[in-house]
Amino acid sequence: MNLLLDTHALIWALENNPTLSHAAREAIVDGHNLVFVSAVSVWEISIKRALGKLRAPDNVIEEVNLHRFTPLGISLAHADLAGQLPALHQDPFDRMLVAQATLEKLTIVTRDENIQQYQAPCITA
């Protein structure tokens, strides 16, 4: 299974936070699974940290590499689909994650109930 971490799941995974569900933790550490981190999550962390709305590691990119997560860039196709998704979720960062998961056939690790309303498979973070 190939996973895409929602931003909160990424932070919890990097911090080894016990808030992360057992099922999500097991899927993330399973060596058979590829774990992707979207550029949109790094962007969201950077913006919210700069605004003082989020505590997160200052070295997110380095941590992503240390954990051997796979970076996922944003393509034109991702952007196009994110704009076409039904208005179940208003957050553009999360809509991008849904579009990426859909096009790349990834399972999203998230606790966001709005994301879970879309057709992309999810594991509860």
Q: Which residue is associated with the tokens 């998961």?
A: 101
- Determine the Cα–Cα distance for residues 109 and 11; give it in Å rounded to an integer: 12
- Determine the Cα–Cα distance for residues 57 and 17; give it in Å rounded to an integer: 13
Residue-wise pLDDT tens digits, 76-115:
999 999 999 998 889 999 999 999 999 999 999 999 999 9
pLDDT of the residue at 91: 94
Backbone region of residue 68 per phi and psi (left: phi > 0; alpha: psi in -120 to 50; beta: other values): left
- Determine the Cα–Cα distance for residues 41 and 109; give it in Å rounded to an integer: 13
* Tally of domains within the chain: 1
Residue-wise pLDDT tens digits, 54-64:
988 889 999 99
pLDDT of the residue at 122: 98
Strands 34-38 vs 107-110: parallel, antiparallel or unpaired: unpaired
Q: What is the pTM of this model?
A: 0.95
| Residue 88, domain CATH | 3.40.50.1010
Domain that holds residue 36: 2-124
